[in-house]
């Protein structure tokens, strides 16, 4: 059985009542613009998703019936274009005088273009920073913009005892700043080379090891789960680009948040219009401000 979350501007209570009756839902929650239909059969859920799920104004998200915060013990998030609106390395390369070259390399790396893999794209972008002052990091931190709904979701997770981690290919000082600002459990990030207050143009993985690419992000999720005694089937992951594919596929619920096509086609759920607080409404506890129909 499935529950179906529907978000659409202008969705009213009359619409909600009609949809509940039409699809034989066992129950429903409604708040202006959002509806949760409970206890749908697979065929009803698939029909509903096919019918309105690809209409751009609507968000249609099927989840296991009665999905509860008790089912998920750890959530892991990509950072850039997920928890924050920025692509920080793009900001750094622009400030360093590289123009749009860094942004173009990012596009190739996150889209999964065959001409340039993510790790190669990351290394090439970091080389553009060689010789720049490390004060660029502070300049970028001042520009960080949280994604709408990110703080609300992190508060929800904290209130319900869910561990929250950033797993990012960005750099430790930026990930530490964002994790602290959002009150998250922790982070794992790549390390930017700095010597004598200058950026060296080199990047390594956590603790000087291998770069966090798609495989590294999945492995990091596994290690975090092991450290906390959490099973992989008790996780939710959320990302944006090609380097999040393995991590998103490994979790019980993998979410593409405004994701690239490479991620969207493999994720369990695709959030295309809402903020990160939409993730909160995947859980039955996320509807305590809604009317019961």
Per residue of the chain (293 residues), what is the pLDDT tens digit? 899 999 888 888 998 999 899 888 999 999 999 999 999 988 888 887 776 655 557 788 999 999 999 999 999 999 999 999 998 988 888 888 765 555 566 555 545 554 556 777 788 888 889 999 999 999 999 999 999 999 999 999 999 999 999 999 999 999 999 999 999 999 999 999 999 999 999 999 999 999 998 899 999 999 999 999 999 999 999 999 888 999 999 999 999 999 988 899 999 999 998 899 999 999 999 999 999 99
Residue 123's pLDDT is what?
85
Contacts 24+ apart (CB under 8 A), 97-101: 98/128, 101/128
> Residues of 166-184 as b/e, b for ≥16 C-beta within 10 angstroms?
bbbbbbbbbbebbbebbeb
Q: Which two tokens stand for residue 98?
A: 């590289």
* Strand order from edge to edge, sheet including 163-171: 198-204, 186-195, 163-171, 74-77, 235-239, 253-257, 269-271
Residue 114's pLDDT is what?
45
Residue 15's pLDDT is what?
87
Residue 93's pLDDT is what?
86
Q: Which two tokens stand for residue 18?
A: 């009609």
Residues contacting residue 21 through CB under 8 Å, at least 6 positions apart: none
DSSP annotation string for 32-72: TTEEEEEEE-HHHHHHHHHHHTTSTTEEEEEEETT--GGG-
Are 231 and 252 spatial neighbours (Cβ–Cβ below 8 Å)?
no
CA distance 269 to 256: 6
Residue 105's pLDDT is what?
60
CA angle 38, 40, 45 (to 5 degrees): 115
In the chain, domain spans: 1-66
Are 270 and 60 spatial neighbours (Cβ–Cβ below 8 Å)?
no
Question: Tell me, what DSSP letter sits at residue 143?
Answer: T
The CB density around residue 47, as the number of other CB atoms within 10 Å, is 13
CA distance 30 to 291: 5
Length of the chain: 293
Residue 293 pairs in a beta bridge with: none
* CA dist list (Å): 236 to 54, 221, 227, 268: 23, 10, 16, 10
CA distance 63 to 65: 6
Q: How many CA atoms lie within 13 A of 163 on its CB side?
A: 18
Class of domain 1-66: alpha beta
CA angle 272, 273, 275 (to 5 degrees): 105
């Amino acid at each position: 059985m499935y529950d179906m979350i529907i978000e659409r501007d202008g969705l009213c209570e009359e619409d909600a009542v009609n949809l509940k009756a039409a699809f034989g839902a066992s129950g429903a929650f409604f708040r202006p613009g959002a509806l949760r239909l409970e206890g749908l059969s697979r065929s009803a859920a698939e029909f509903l998703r096919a019918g309105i799920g690809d209409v751009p104004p609507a968000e249609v998200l099927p989840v296991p019936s009665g999905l509860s915060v008790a089912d998920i013990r750890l959530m892991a998030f990509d950072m850039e274009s997920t928890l924050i609106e920025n692509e920080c390395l793009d900001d750094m390369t622009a400030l360093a005088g590289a123009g749009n070259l860094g942004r173009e390399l990012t596009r190739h790396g996150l889209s999964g273009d065959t001409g340039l893999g993510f790790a190669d794209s990351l290394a090439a972008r970091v080389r553009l920073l060689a010789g720049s002052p490390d004060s660029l990091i502070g300049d970028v931190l001042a520009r960080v913009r949280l994604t709408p709904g990110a703080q609300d979701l992190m508060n929800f997770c904290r209130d319900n005892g869910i561990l929250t981690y950033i797993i990012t290919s960005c750099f430790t000082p930026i990930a530490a700043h964002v994790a602290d600002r959002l009150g998250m459990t922790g982070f794992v990030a790549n390390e930017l080379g700095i010597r004598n207050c200058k950026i060296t143009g080199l990047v390594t993985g956590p603790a000087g090891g291998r770069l966090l690419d798609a495989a590294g992000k999945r492995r990091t999720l596994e290690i975090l789960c092991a450290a906390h005694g959490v099973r992989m089937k008790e996780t939710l992951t959320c990302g944006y680009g090609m380097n999040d594919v393995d991590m998103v596929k490994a979790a019980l619920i993998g979410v593409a948040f405004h994701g690239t096509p490479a991620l969207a086609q493999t994720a369990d759920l695709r959030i295309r219009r809402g903020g990160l607080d939409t993730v909160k409404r995947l859980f039955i506890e996320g509807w305590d401000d809604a009317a019961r129909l």
